[in-house]
Structure 1
Amino acid sequence: MLADPDDAPHVSVREMLQNRSQPAWLLVPHMQKLSSIHLSEDQDTCIWTHSADGLFNTRSAYDILRPRGIQRPALAKIWHRLFLRKASMFCWKVIHRVIPVDSRISDHGVCLPSRCSCCTTGHCEDIDHLFMNSDIAAALWRWFSPILHPPNSNNEHFTSWCWRIIQGSNLRSPFGFVALYGMLLIIWEIWKERCKRHYDSKFTSIKTIIDQISLQISHAIHQPVFKTAPSENQLSVLLSLGYKPSIKSIKIKLVRWIPPVYGLCLNVDGASKGNPGLSGGGGCIRDSNGNICLAFAFHYGFGNSLQAEVRALHDGLMLANEFGLSINQIYSDSALLVQSFTNNSSPSWECARWWRPAYDTLRSLQTSCCHVFREANKVADALASYATSNHGNKIFTTFSSLPLACRGPATLDKTGLPYVRLG
């Protein structure tokens, strides 16, 4: 609602758009922004901006209020769903050096005699000695050395070594999966054996501990299908230890841009550097011969990739209407965007202001939006990247005016040569 300084009756945005002579227009500093507003017949609703669907929930409210510490994304790897939860929790404690070993208790002012329960040398018990140099630790790391290079107390602390292993592990590969999970289990088994000997005077043989660790790893590694194949050397090491992972087979597909049978087609794509981050969108309209009729590259500022995809489609349709071009087919490599038009539901409330007019335009033109692989959408992808990098809005009407990065894919699409897709 808008009102003038003299407390005149309030004026709605709809009334202003319907009456251009409304005096309240004088109070709007940027009239062109208000002129571009698209009003729908839907009822106004309250939006909770901290959830993806715009609906309030206590989880999102708590997420705003709860205190946050230092963010360490790599630490999320130890909470893999197939890892033993006790081992993950204990590793988290080791990294933060909160394990109640004798040296830790002494540091808090409680003086007591100290002797490592996991070795025969009578060494004082601290984190580095217990998990690196004790008899049990040395034997377990020696057994696991084909996967992980054993830690060395002369070079770094044990917690630093653990953190380096976590950061460098790749859970998409079976070798990285086994390396990280084996490290967690070895640490956990060392602590369990330490407590048995320290409090119950019970001893477990090294062979039994190794068998327990191997059983846990074998049970976990057989469940997922890994997307990254290990090297031949890594695979031979895994097989020698009795681990047989399932690896996703790579299939080679030939993908090419298919021109429309008649009329024009629109390819659109969005990009976000950081997701969310600086975003942009691009698209091109081509005829059945692959000739460029119109192309655009628009910078959208800060946003996520889904917003960029929706805005690119919206802008492509608006430009086609402005230049009098009739679109018969639309292609996008965003399966979520294409599915939203099939389900008649905006992918998120943040995209609704661009998605709704795009949907209305598609319905009025009776045009469908189809999903294509990224390899068949190279020109639009290059335009979106160009817009994100150059921070500007540009429209191209000829092939020669396209950015250099877009001319190569446009030429390949026109000749009908396929791209190779691995998947």
Structure 2
Amino acid sequence: MLAKGGWRILKDKDCLWAQVMRSKYGKQREGLEVLRPVKGGSFTWNSLNKASNLLRKGCAWNIHNGKGAKFWRDVWLLQVPLAEVALQPVTEEMLNEQVADYVDEDGRWDINRLEDWLPPEVLQKITANLVDPLSLEEDTILWTASSNGHFSTSSAYSLALPPRHDPNEKVWRTIWKLPVAERVRCFVWLMSLGRIATNALRYSRKCAESPMCLRCGNDEETILHLLRDCYPARFFWLRWIPQAEQQSFFSSSREDWVRDNILKEDVTESGMSWNSFFGTAVWCIWKNRCTGCFQGLQKALSAPSLAFSIQQKAILWHKAWQAPTVNFGRQGSRPERIETQIHWSSPCNGWVKLNVDGASAGNPGLAGAGGIIRDEHGKWIRGFVAKVGEASATLAELWAVYYGLHLSRKAGSSCVLVESDSQLAIALIKSRHDPVHPYAALLASIRRFLAQDWLVSIGHMYREGNRAADWLSKHSIVYPLGMHELVDPPPALAPILMEDCMGISFQRRVVTHPSSSL
């Protein structure tokens, strides 16, 4: 929460209290340097500074025009400043150089200048970032612990926690995915944590007069005694556990007993998974115990009756879980998948179609982009391939749109229909501008292309109708870094271009949202 206050001081320009704190304690400083201890600072300011290390851990510069962040000294590409991964010591003069000092007027990186200073893998990360030195939008600070660049207390809390490995993580995931009622999952989860309100637990907390089991009176009512060792439970388990496994089943500790049965992959005769049957059984044993505890032992089921009841209830619940889901809402409200034919289609007269695609080996990994411009007859006009560097698949898709629009503008096209098979990339382009989004600079450049004096329409096309661009994006990896214009189509691409012109279609199952009738 202190980090949230510090974030508001850094980012909230309109908040009055943040303006007062910045002007009083953080004047003549920029970026994260604003949050520095000040001699004679107030209790509030000193408290906020306690979270400055957490903020520095999660904050980084989001590059727009490159004139705010220092190339070597600030964190903007990696989790550490680039000076720490340089191949040779960085001079004091270089530490003050801005990101914009390493690109030309068109935003192209000076790779030749950087090759002697940075490893190849870092250079590939650099080339995947767009810098527009002519942009009026300044560099800004983003929060790297979240996907959208905005600060959240939950992400800050996760970042503040030390890394740890929970050996029971697989058990937790399995419990919450059991095909049983939610109350059964909750009970199994509490049982695995040892938090069932047995008499032994209640007595240790001075909430019961005796820790003994009410059913047998021979032992303390612990979780294992109640759900495994007491006569009604033992009577049931002896009829279901194979004789060869009974010794380990009845001698293991609570933690091992729960883990072994929850992770067991066997299936019962009724077709129910063993862990679901196990969860149902322990819950029924507990409910029968509660009946005897609060309504009298004469109301509780006997051992044979309890075993029969567990078996019948498990079968009934299993059948109910396997039954198809009934939709009581409006008809057609649930999406369906239907078989349809997908093919590339030519644009209208006077228009050209730009198909683009991006590919990333590893997501993030070595990424490339490709695109093709064709007229209303399917004739090749221009194409391109681009080796982006190390980037995510979504970033590669955005680079493909950017390079494709740049090439279309260069070719003199006035009416362009853009098709991409990435719905996420299209949604990001059409969404509202967010300066702290990790892809904000590239998105802003794409939107500036769209705002120019021409007609551009961007839409989604499935991969079956975008095969030419997909082929180009996957083959871009063999090219040097940067965008490479293709005047003629590669010979290996000719069969795909021919099939597109012939209108050959491919079958695909697509999601549809049928209109509902009132």
TM over 0.5: same fold? yes
Asked if residue 257 in structure 1 is aligned to residue 352 in structure 2, the reply is: no
| 1:374 to 2:474 alignment | no
Q: Deviations over 1:71-126 (max 9, x none)?
A: 7578535435996444324444677899999xxxxxxxxxxxx99x89xxxxxx68
Counterpart for residue 499 of structure 2: 412
Change (3 A) 1:408 1:337: same
Is the 8 Å Cα contact of residues 271 and 281 (structure 1) preserved in structure 2?
Answer: yes
Per-residue CA deviations over 1:201-223 (Å, capped at 9, x if unaligned) read: 5633445445655676677x5xx
1:135 and 1:260 map into 2 onto residues whose CA distance is: 75
Equivalent in the alignment of 1:106: none
Query: What does residue 62 of structure 1 align with?
Result: 157
Which residue is 1:76 aligned to? 173
Distance of aligned partners of 1:85 and 1:66 in 2 relative to their CA distance in 1, 3 Å threshold: farther
AA of the residue aligned to 1:88: R
Could you tell me which of 297, 320, 324 is aligned with 1:244?
A: 324
**1:41, CA displacement in angstroms?**
2.5
Alignment check: 8 A CA contact 2:429 2:447 kept: yes
AA paired with 2:348? V
Q: TM-score w.r.t. structure 1 length?
A: 0.62
Aligned mate of 1:37, from 117, 126, 131 = 131
- Alpha-carbon distance between aligned partners in 2 of 1:75 and 1:378, rounded to the nearest angstrom: 42
1:269 aligns with 2:336: no
Give the fraction of aligned pairs with identical amino acids, expressed as a percent.
Answer: 23
Query: Contact 1:269–1:312 (CA<8 Å) still a contact in 2?
Result: yes
* Aligned 8 A contact 1:128 1:153 in 2: no
Q: Which runs of 5+ in 1 are unaligned?
A: 102-113, 119-124, 143-148, 169-174, 222-237
- Where 1:46 maps in the other structure, the secondary structure is strand
How much has 1:360 moved relative to structure 2? 0.8
Secondary structure of 1:41's aligned partner: coil
Cα deviation, residue 367, structure 1: 0.8
Amino acid at match of 1:330: V
Superposition map of 1:16-165 within 5 A: 29=114, 37-38=131-132, 39-70=134-165, 72=169, 75-76=172-173, 78-79=175-176, 84-92=181-189, 134-137=234-237, 159-160=259-260, 162-165=262-265
**What are the equivalent positions in structure 2 for 1:290-301 lying under 5 Å apart?**
290-292=378-380, 293-296=382-385, 298-301=387-390
Matching residue of 1:111: none
Give secondary structure in 2 for the equivalent of 1:417: coil
Q: Tell me, in whole angstroms, the C-alpha distance in 1 between the residues paired with 2:104 and 2:368.
A: 32
Alignment CA distance shift 1:280-1:217 (3 Å): farther
| Deviates most, 282-291 or 318-327 | 318-327
Find the aligned partners of 2:280 and 2:478 in 1 and give their Cα distance. Answer: 45
Residues 302-313 of structure 1 mapped to structure 2, 5 A cutoff = 302-303=391-392, 305-313=393-401
* Partner SS for 1:412: helix
| Secondary structure in structure 2 of the residue aligned to 1:329 | strand
Q: Structure 2 length normalisation: TM-score? A: 0.53
1:234 alignment counterpart: none
Give ranges in structure 2 of 5+ residues lacking alignment.
Answer: 1-66, 72-89, 118-122, 199-211, 217-223, 250-256, 328-334, 511-518
Partner of 1:361 in structure 2?
A: 449
Could you say if the C-alpha distance between residues 386 and 77 of structure 1 is closer, same or farther in structure 2, counting changes exceeding 3 Å?
farther
Output aligned runs, 1:326-345, within 5 Å: 328-345=416-433
Matched with 1:172 is none
2:390 partner letter: G
Deviation track 1:2-50 (CA, whole Å, cap 9, x = no partner) reads 7998989x88777998999xxxx9xx75799899721433354321122
Computed over aligned residues only, the root mean square deviation of the Cα atoms, in angstroms, reads 5.6
Distance in 1 between the 2:352 and 2:414 partners?
7
SS of the equivalent of 2:466 reads helix
SS in 1 for 2:346: coil
Paired residues of 1:52 and 1:348 also in contact (CA < 8 A)? no
Contact 2:179 2:276 in 1 (8 A): no
Structure 1 position 408, deviation (Å): 5.2
Q: Is the 8 A contact 2:261 2:278 kept in 1?
A: no
